[in-house]
Amino acid sequence: MDRRTLLVRGLAATAFTGLSSVPVCRAWGQPATYAAFLAGVRHEALGQGLPAGVIDQALALCKTPNAAVIKADRHQPEQVLTWAQYKDRVLTEKKLSDGLQAMTEQGERIGQIGGQYKVSRGVIAGIWGLESAYGTRMGKFSVIDALATLAFEGRRAAFFRGELFKALHILAQGGMEPRAMLGSYAGAMGQPQFMPSAYERFAVSYPEGGRPDIWRNEADVFASIANYLARSGWQDGAIWGEAVIVPDSMAQAQLGRSHVRPLSWWVQQGVRPRAGRFADNAAMGAVIRPDGPGGEAFVVYHNFNVIRRYNASDFYALAVGILGDAIT
């Protein structure tokens, strides 16, 4: 073992000695070493009333900044996809076939939970499929390790520091070992890929009672997704949107989520539903044509914007809606 490794390990060990002061780099306001940063986290967590045993067990996972997390954060893909490319990438034949199989196994339960929360089973299934491939891909990073790394090294240190403390609070509630709190490199957790703050706000157990388990308990997963959407304003019985035909001559500036108009107005402009008729309960909507003239177009309604509150991307909301409709 070289001298550098010995020094790093020695510094890490001091992170759990209850230091009351932390050396700070004046230029950036950040602790000068990772060990000092962890000591500061521990000190602040104790001040928030969290049990020392929980804190120490969690932070013991954070020996050094996780290089894989830093690489993922700093080397995100720069390619800008068109809607057609994005659709081909995420709505694969496998995603559709796996979704049909998943609904054979879980469709009744999703429908029951969706009925209780007054959220369509299609949107629950669509989010479940996109976020974790129906519970099969939740991420393999320790959430505590990832969040601590990003709070120390990341571009949004203040945000991730807040999420780290929320994750510690979740662990303090009991019922979970820190090593079992797994997620993405950015700290999104479990099958719904909730950040810790979203877990605290929206995660629920089903039936009620106990700590929500969004990693292993599918009923809790579906109820948590449904609760998120219900509290974000989902309108029961309404659809998210539908495919339409838009004249190529129609200016792109007339389209977009902000241009909400009566369907009768869109019809006057030559917009036609691909299905032959518009949904019976739809009156107002916006038309989006992500790839411009010649590309696919959709009229989107209120519930489309609710999906965007889960992930603020038109592409994501379209994919959730299309996937959910296809597998339910």
> Which pLDDT belongs to residue 18?
36
Greater pLDDT, 2 or 36 = 36
Does pLDDT of 78 surpass 70?
A: no
At 142-153, the pLDDT tens digits run: 999 999 999 999
For a pLDDT cut of 90, what percent of the chain falls above it?
A: 83
d(CA 202, CA 215): 15
Q: Please state the domain extents for the chain.
A: 3-74+139-188, 241-300
> Which pLDDT belongs to residue 250?
94
Compute the Cα dihedral for 239, 243, 247, 253 and give only its sign. Answer: positive
Nearest residue to 143 (alpha-carbon basis) of 122, 163, 157:
163
> pLDDT confidence of 162, banded at 50, 70, 90?
very high
CATH topology of domain 3-74+139-188: Helicase, Ruva Protein; domain 3 (1.10.8)
At 241-275, the pLDDT tens digits run: 999 999 999 999 999 999 999 999 999 999 999 98
Mean pLDDT of the region 36-45? 97
d(CA 24, CA 166): 23
Mean pLDDT of the chain: 90
Does pLDDT of 22 surpass 80?
A: no
> pLDDT confidence of 214, banded at 50, 70, 90?
very high
pTM: 0.88
Per DSSP, the three-state class of 86 is helix
> pLDDT confidence of 25, banded at 50, 70, 90?
very low
Does pLDDT of 20 surpass 90?
A: no
> Which pLDDT belongs to residue 2?
40
Cis peptide preceding 31, ω within 30 of 0: no
> Which pLDDT belongs to residue 10?
39
Q: Residues 46, 66: contact at Cβ < 8 Å?
A: no
> Which pLDDT belongs to residue 291?
97
Residue 312 parent element (H or E): none
Does pLDDT of 98 surpass 90?
A: yes
What are the distances in angstroms from CA 23 to CA 26, 139, 155? 9, 34, 21
> pLDDT confidence of 6, banded at 50, 70, 90?
very low
H-state helical runs in the chain: 3-13, 34-47, 52-59, 67-74, 83-90, 93-117, 121-132, 143-153, 157-172, 196-202, 218-231, 263-268, 302-310, 314-327
Mean pLDDT of the region 169-174? 94
* 149, HSE (Cβ side, Cα atoms, 13 Å): 24
